[in-house]
Every structure is written in C-alpha cells, then in structure tokens.
Amino acid sequence: MLITALGLLIFWFKLVPAASGEWSFCANENEYCSFSGTKEVRYGADGQYAYGTYTDGVDCTNDVFGDPIYGTVKSCDVFYNKPHISLSPTSFTFSGISGGPTPAGQTLTISNTGGTTLKWSGSTNQGWCHISNPNNNVNVNPGSSVTRTITVDAPSNVGSFSCNVTISDANADNSPQTASVTYNVSAGSCPSGSVSLNPTSINIGQTSTASAPSGFTGGSFSSSNTGVATISGSTATGVGPGQAAISGTGWSYPANGATGCSLSSSSLTVISAPPAAPSNAQTDNSVCGKVTITWTDNSSNETGFHVYRSKSGKQGSIDLSDYELIASVSANTTAYTDSTVSTGKSYSYAVTSYK
C-alpha cells in the first residue's frame, strides 16, 4: 500500500509464491540483490511486501518495487523452492535361481528438481535388499543428481519377494519417496543322483539299506520286482532269487529349491540262502577195495553234495586245500562209495552241500 500526496491509497496485488519453499535475505534497502536465474523477490518489512519476478539480480529500491510500507526500513528476500526428490526408475525387478549366483546390481538415480540443496538419506525395509552408501551421501544441488546401486542377496528361498527403497529429506516438499524392488526366485533343476545300496547282494530274508546322495531329502524308494525284493522306508528285504532295481522318486534338493526329483536305480541281487551243512559223516571200509561214506542231510534246498578225499591221507585234517573233489551226488543223497582206494592206505573224507 502507498499513500500519495493526494491522499490516495495504492495497493500492489502480486501473487505470493506457494508455500513449498522458503524466503532468504538478499539485500537491504537501496542495495543490490544478487542471485542467479529467475527468482521471485519480495521487498518490504513487517509482513508488508511488494513482489516481483526478476532474473540474475535486482535493485532493492522503491523505484523498482514502490514503497509497500512508508517510513520503514525495508529489505529484499529471494524465494527458493524446497528440494524435490525425483527417483529413476521407481521400480526394480531381480530374478535368480535358488542356490545360484547373485543377480547383478541395478542403478538408482536420485535427482533434485527443486530449488534448494537436497540432503538425502536412504534405507530399505528388508534385510535382503540394499542401497549402496545409504548414509555416506553427497548433497544434491538443484538440477543435479547422484546414483546409487540397488542389490539383493544370493537367491535362496523360492518365491516372489518385495522390498521398498526409501529416499528421505525432511526439508524436501515430497519426502519420502520410494522405489519398489521385486525379487523372483525360482527353483533350480534336479541334480543327477542314484540310489546307493548296502550291501548290493543279499540272501532271501536278509536286508539291504537304500540311501540317497547327500543333499536330497524327503523322497521314497521303490522296487521294480517285489517278487525278488520288497522295500519299506529305506530297507529292502530279499523275498526270492533274482535281481530288483531300487529307484527313488519325489525327492527334494533344498540347496537350489528343486522338487520332484528322481534318483537313478541301482540293482539289488537276491540269492537263496546256502543249504545247511551235512553232519555225522562216517566211513565203512568193510568191503575190500571200497570205502562207503555216509552223512546226515540237514538241508532241504541243496542241489547236491560234494565228496572230497584228502590228498595226503592225513587223518582229521580240516584244511580243504588238502582235499580233492572225487564225486558230486544229487540232492537228498546220504551215502557215496569210493571204489578207487588201495588196500593198506589211510584215507580222510569231507562232505559239503552245495546250491
């Protein structure tokens, strides 16, 4: 408002800048107000101001602005917009395979599109995603930018995960700003592996233990021939002579999240139990030039019996390397006559069952 010599009241109607900024002292009355670029400047005191828009400085005088408050010492203030945070991009997507390599980092650009310096800090809301140097920050001048790297941890659990990267400045007119991070982790492929058997050959009625390679969990074993071997849990039991392939299905490999894995089969051989040894062997040499050997048959599954004679004739020898096979007889036989003996010599015999 200006009071003229004629007593007229003259008012200046100027638009006042929006509130998202601040006034900064520039010069006293009758001084030069220096600044760069185009700025809004106010001239006055005690809440009464004249406003104008000027470029690269202005004289702080009544001649330029008029006198908004007569008889009072005035000054010029320049209006500076607050810092304004701009992020690019505002979303990130990472992909990985569980147990595989860590995805490469991606670049976040932090720009200041406001009028004063941006003094920012960064943070994330998940432990597996990170922003480089979040608290070692370079102040960003108006119209400038700085870059930071967004990274994620090595892929582990399978799924899709979300994180927010937050950039803040309490003085900015739009703080905080966030960039979203999506991390898609898929399961890896099933590694190759085969069933291990211990032992690989058993008798009917005996058992073998099946196991998976290290790192596999949660699957099951099966037998290709349940007439030869059945399996319960990890225990294979021989039920008949022959061979059965023991394989694995439905296994998981937690190291890379793979599921539904199959294990190559291993062969299990099942043989009949050896027949029980005969007992009560005796000899009868009552017939000249002949010795008859008799024994008790203690088995029901033998194919036959082998009859051995000592090469040295040593009585009571138990060293079978001293014996030679002289006859094989059929199952259920309990006697054999050796007609190749000589009068006056001593002989020792052994009888075994075989299958």
Exposure of 161 by Cβ count < 10 A (0-12 exposed, 13-18 middle, 19+ buried)? middle
The first and second tokens of residue 266, run together, are: 């291993």
- What's the confidence (pLDDT) of residue 6? 40
Cβ partners under 8 Å of residue 144, min gap 6: 111, 112
Q: Last residue of some domain: 214, 244, 271?
A: 271
- What's the confidence (pLDDT) of residue 15? 45
Q: How confident is the model at residue 63 (pLDDT cuts 50, 70, 90)?
A: very high
Residues 96, 175, single domain; the answer is: yes
Residues 181, 247, single domain; the answer is: no
Residues 224, 311, single domain; the answer is: no
Query: Which amino acid is residue 223, in one-letter code?
Result: S
Note if the bond before 89 is cis, omega within 30 degrees. yes
pLDDT higher than threshold 70 for residue 152: yes
Q: Which residue has the higher pLDDT, 3 or 246?
A: 246
- What's the confidence (pLDDT) of residue 168? 95
Q: Which residue has the higher pLDDT, 316 or 144?
A: 144
This prediction's pTM: 0.56
Q: How confident is the model at residue 136 (pLDDT cuts 50, 70, 90)?
A: low
| Mean confidence (pLDDT) of the chain | 90
For position 209, which CATH number holds? Answer: 2.60.40.1080
Question: Mean pLDDT throughout 118-141?
Answer: 91
φ, ψ of residue 293 in degrees (nearest 5): -105, 135
- What's the confidence (pLDDT) of residue 10? 42
Question: Mean pLDDT throughout 73-86?
Answer: 92
For position 52, which CATH number holds? Answer: 2.60.120
Question: Mean pLDDT throughout 113-117?
Answer: 86
275-285 per-position pLDDT tens digit:
899 999 999 98
Cβ partners under 8 Å of residue 8, min gap 6: none
Note if the bond before 199 is cis, omega within 30 degrees. yes
CA-to-CA distance for 115 and 82, rounded, in angstroms?
A: 5
Residues 32, 117, single domain; the answer is: no
pLDDT higher than threshold 90 for residue 180: yes
> From the CB of residue 261, how many other CB atoms can be counted at a distance below 10 Å?
21
Q: Last residue of some domain: 139, 154, 186?
A: 186
pLDDT higher than threshold 80 for residue 18: no
Residues 246, 318, single domain; the answer is: no
φ, ψ of residue 144 in degrees (nearest 5): -115, 175
Among 34-43, 49-58, 68-77, 198-207, where is mean pLDDT lowest?
34-43
pLDDT higher than threshold 80 for residue 167: yes
Residues 289, 329, single domain; the answer is: yes
pLDDT higher than threshold 90 for residue 44: yes
Which residue range forms the structural domain that includes residue 21?
Answer: 2-81
Q: Is residue 191 part of a domain?
A: no
**Number of domains composing the chain:** 4
Q: How confident is the model at residue 316 (pLDDT cuts 50, 70, 90)?
A: low
- What's the confidence (pLDDT) of residue 7? 40
Q: Is residue 326 part of a domain?
A: yes
179: left (phi over 0), alpha (psi -120 to 50) or beta: beta
- What's the confidence (pLDDT) of residue 30? 97
Question: Mean pLDDT throughout 120-145?
Answer: 91
Percent of the residues in the chain that have a pLDDT greater than 90, as a whole number? 75
Residues 324, 306, single domain; the answer is: yes
CA atoms within 13 A on the CB side of 354: 12
Residues 62, 91, single domain; the answer is: no
Largest Cα separation within the chain, whole Å, is 173
- What's the confidence (pLDDT) of residue 193? 96
CA-to-CA distance for 45 and 65, rounded, in angstroms?
A: 13
Residues 229, 319, single domain; the answer is: no
Q: What share of the chain is helix, strand, coil (3-state, %, to 5)?
A: 0, 50, 45
Q: How confident is the model at residue 262 (pLDDT cuts 50, 70, 90)?
A: very high
Q: Last residue of some domain: 214, 237, 271?
A: 271
Q: How confident is the model at residue 13 (pLDDT cuts 50, 70, 90)?
A: very low
Residues 72, 93, single domain; the answer is: no
For position 318, which CATH number holds? Answer: 2.60.40.10
